[in-house]
Structure 1
Amino acid sequence: MMAIVAAVLFGFALIFQLADFSLDIITASVLTTAGLLFVALHLAGVPKAGWRGRGSWRRRR
């Protein structure tokens, strides 16, 4: 999920840079930095932290 968010942010950054468009705070460099943050979180395994899978609460016999 984090990788998809990063890809969308990189896409918006590319469009902003190609169109030479920027808002007051949101620029292509800000979107690129946010995309790199989400890639780093994805590679670190943040969405998977605490997720043990289906049925892990049951005891194995």
Structure 2
Amino acid sequence: MLGIAAAVLFFIAFLINAAEIDTNDTFSSGNVMLLGLTLLALHVAGIGSGWASRARSRR
């Protein structure tokens, strides 16, 4: 789920950069991209990926 949110933030950052939209310093394309990278790092680390199914060993 965090990977999808990261992809959306990357797309928003691309649109801000490509359209040269004038935004304030908080909502600049670089900051949106850094938020996307943070979400992507959390996704790769396994945080927010949902419940993991545990394999049961049979005897």
Is the pair's TM-score, using the shorter chain for normalization, greater than 0.5? yes
Structure number with the bigger relative contact order (C-alpha 8 A, sep ≥ 6) is 2
The structure where helix makes up a greater share of residues is 1
Q: TM-score range by the shorter chain?
A: 0.7 to 0.9
Aligned residues: 52
Identity of aligned residues (%): 33
Unaligned runs of 5+ in 2: 54-59
| Large movers: runs of 4+ above 3 Å | none
Unaligned runs of 5+ in 1: 54-61
The TM-score normalised by the length of structure 1 is: 0.75
The TM-score normalised by the length of structure 2 is: 0.77
